[in-house]
Structure 1
Amino acid sequence: MSIMDRIGAAWRMITRGETAMPDIVRRTARGGDIEPLQLSTVFRGVQVLQTAITGLPLDEYVHGVKTAGAPSPLLDRPDRARSRRDFIADLVASMVMDGNAFIHVQRYKGEVVDARILPPSLVTVTNRGTDIASPRLAYGYAGAIYDATQIVHLKFLNVPGQLRGLGPISAAREEVEGAKMARDYKARFYTDGSNIKGYLKTEQAMTKESADKAKAVWANEDDPMGIRVLGKNLSYVPLELKPADMQFLETQQFDTTQIARLLGIPASIMLAAVEGSNLTYSNIEQSWIEFADYTLAAYTGEIEEAFNQMLPAGHTVRFDWDSSRRADMSSRFSAYRTAIEAGWLTVDEVREREGMQPLKEGHHDA
């Protein structure tokens, strides 16, 4: 397809109000040459985000009051065929890789009874209205068209005028492609015969014919494993690489740092060393707090809003962030003592935070 054909096709999609999938997502969906998760740094980053978010407790509130009993069935198991942990993990992965997550909901008497996550690369988003600032959205999937009451749409990064959100991987595909090309070059370096492993050297002048003859003799294509014989005044100089150069360590470190920055994950969590950094307990703890505030919150906020749309009126959910910021045992217990003495936490409330059963009545001072 020529460049003019591609421009024409894109213009026709824009005039229809349809948003095209990012090229990197489309190629990944059909098993093309870009597979971000095959990069160890991307895989590690997605795994870190999924683990951090799925490990957070999700509390339910009714009219602003935290419920003490069992959660609503939808919150306990949004997709009846899968666990809530898998459900949330899919939402996170969808937003990381594509920037969007789509939940197809099924309702009974006006209430959502089941929710199913759709592969974002296979969902099209169109505007059936005439105003891009107030779109009337329609979602296409597997030959069916759904309206906004049937699809809950999560966006990682909203862009005014765009029907789809942007995700870190799809938005910065050049960095991901560059990291993949560096990895592939490293893999080919030892097997590709076109790479120069050494050269023939002489201090005397050499004609082209002599050089071609020496090269042919050295190549010895009929017997590639045979003995090489050097001509007069020729010496072989191998290209010696340091172990660090042979492993492309600087390139790997640069790519890891770039992707960690792209995903908003501290380098220490990505097991990447940052040159010139001085890691201490205090700044590692601060990096964890910033990771929660500026990275995880971008995902959890969208997930909370999605559950709020699906739950009955008056019901809301919140992730329990205290569990992700657990200090060491001594600091935690000291903080609990202060809270109990100040009167704004009870012993049983502290025990609940630690995952323990409440004390029996009359034993609170034991």
Structure 2
Amino acid sequence: MSIFSRVSDALAGGVSRRQAVNVASGIIPPPRDQHAPVLLGEAAYLPAVHRALQIIGTSVGQLGLTVERTGQRLEGPDVPAVIRRPNLDMSRGDFLEQLALSMATTGNAYVWRDGGTLASETTQLIPLDSREVHAWRETDGAKRLMFSYDGRDYAAGEHSRIVQMRYLTMPGTVRGIGPIGAAQTTMRSARDMRDYSSKWWETGHPSGILSTDDKLTPDEAALYRRSWNQLDADGIPIEQTDNPSRVRVLGKGLHYDPVMISPKDALWIEAQQFDTLEIARIFGVPSSLMMTAIDGNSMTYSNVEQEWLGFVRFGLMAYLRKIEDALTSLTPRGQTVRFNLDALLRSDTTTRYAAHRTALEAGFLTRDEVRAIENLPALTPVQRAEVEQQAPAPAPQEIQP
């Protein structure tokens, strides 16, 4: 891969080689925002970002996968091995978590496919560092999508060794856009606020003010300041062997007023809460899961439950659909891979059991089907006979004249 393509990939989000020449020659103007960007490693250590990534990774990692063929779910050995255990060195949950976090941080996830020539002959999938994979498109001929990794180029497609998943893709680009890259202003604000509040007590504010009604020259002001801080002319602390309690003596009409600030103001609680809410919006994570709240918003159990359902449908699905499509492309044709969302969409026990009772009374679910939903084995013949004996007799129907 040429240097122009690498420059294009780094600065223009993976455009063509011809466009990269324009970037290198200075035709495309530099961005107006000259502030240093928040890099991936730095953003991950911001508390709110770390919490959002932890929620996304944990949510995806705990989900199961199902494989269907012509509408029938495959079970046991019929499920392809690459779905049962995508990577031989880690659990399936860890593998899925890494894919989701890669898209959440860089906007892209890449896996290396081991195995035969065809995608269906895959033996295992290895997650790659998305920062080490460069996507670009040929400018001549078929204009194929290409990936450069470890000094070699690979064409995208059914026989490719590299499979890409993109979080948010704009038309004409070959690389996805992630929340961290799309919201650099918010990331910088959160970073600067964290650094400023941590340094506030060290260098950010005076501990007090010495004042007088008399006019002071700059030399007199410096002298009084050194005397109050018990420093010599070179700024070196003076040992006070005769004043162990460090009592200050004022004169010349001097007054000392300590600067008092509440812990809430010192930690910039409101500003940090605002940054947390902004980061929650960027990642699509409900404020209740981020352990923060919107002022004036009364949260009830019903509201929280609806928030979590919305998070699954409109937040997590942005990651899950891309992973499903990638894994489907690596299974034999006619098979479809889907996430099992029951672990995230399950309601509380009381609500769930009430729904089961309604389904049994209406007759569109059997006891064994309800037990399967609750991950319980089917009733044995003995248990079934006992249940039928305990079941109340149906109420007599009135005879219409």
* Alpha carbons of structure 1 residues 307 and 107: separation in structure 2 relative to 1, 3 Å: same
- Residue 117 (structure 1) aligned with residue 127 (structure 2): yes
Report if the CA contact (8 A) 2:15-2:136 is conserved. Answer: no
Residues 299-318 of structure 1 aligned to structure 2 (within 5 Å): 299-318=319-338
- Residue 354 (structure 1) aligned with residue 355 (structure 2): no
Q: TM-score, normalised by structure 2?
A: 0.80
* Alpha carbons of structure 1 residues 271 and 178: separation in structure 2 relative to 1, 3 Å: same
Corresponding residue to 1:47 among 54, 63, 82: 54
The equivalent of 2:32 in structure 1 is none
- Residue 260 (structure 1) aligned with residue 260 (structure 2): no
Residues 60-139 of structure 1 aligned to structure 2 (within 5 Å): 60-70=67-77, 71-108=79-116, 110=118, 111-130=121-140, 135-139=143-147
Alpha-carbon distance in structure 1 between the residues aligned to 2:114 and 2:52: 32
The alpha-carbon deviation at position 154 of structure 1 amounts to 0.5
Alpha-carbon distance in structure 2 between the residues aligned to 1:67 and 1:361: 27
* Alpha carbons of structure 1 residues 321 and 116: separation in structure 2 relative to 1, 3 Å: same
* Alpha carbons of structure 1 residues 242 and 223: separation in structure 2 relative to 1, 3 Å: same
The equivalent of 2:28 in structure 1 is none
Alpha-carbon distance in structure 2 between the residues aligned to 1:143 and 1:317: 32
The equivalent of 2:3 in structure 1 is none
Corresponding residue to 2:350 among 326, 330, 355: 330
SS of 1:47's partner is helix
The equivalent of 1:3 in structure 2 is none
- Residue 234 (structure 1) aligned with residue 254 (structure 2): yes
Q: TM-score, normalised by structure 1?
A: 0.87
The equivalent of 2:236 in structure 1 is 222
Identity %: 34
The alpha-carbon deviation at position 109 of structure 1 amounts to 5.4
Alpha-carbon distance in structure 2 between the residues aligned to 1:129 and 1:363: 69
Report the structure number with the largest CA radius of gyration: 2
Corresponding residue to 2:66 among 59, 69, 77: 59
Report if the CA contact (8 A) 2:15-2:173 is conserved. Answer: no
Q: Any gaps of 5 or more consecutive residues in structure 2?
A: 1-6, 24-35, 241-245, 388-401
- Residue 341 (structure 1) aligned with residue 349 (structure 2): no
Report if the CA contact (8 A) 1:18-1:127 is conserved. Answer: no
Alpha-carbon distance in structure 2 between the residues aligned to 1:69 and 1:222: 76
The alpha-carbon deviation at position 17 of structure 1 amounts to 5.9
SS of 1:294's partner is helix
Alpha-carbon distance in structure 1 between the residues aligned to 2:333 and 2:288: 42
Q: Any gaps of 5 or more consecutive residues in structure 1?
A: 1-5, 29-33
Deviations 1:138-193 (A, max 9, x none): 1112222222122211011111111100111121122112111111112222233x
* Alpha carbons of structure 1 residues 119 and 109: separation in structure 2 relative to 1, 3 Å: closer
Deviations 1:335-357 (A, max 9, x none): 11222333433322222221212
SS of 1:191's partner is helix
* Alpha carbons of structure 1 residues 54 and 207: separation in structure 2 relative to 1, 3 Å: same
Alpha-carbon distance in structure 1 between the residues aligned to 2:383 and 2:82: 37
Alpha-carbon distance in structure 1 between the residues aligned to 2:90 and 2:11: 38
- Residue 296 (structure 1) aligned with residue 316 (structure 2): yes
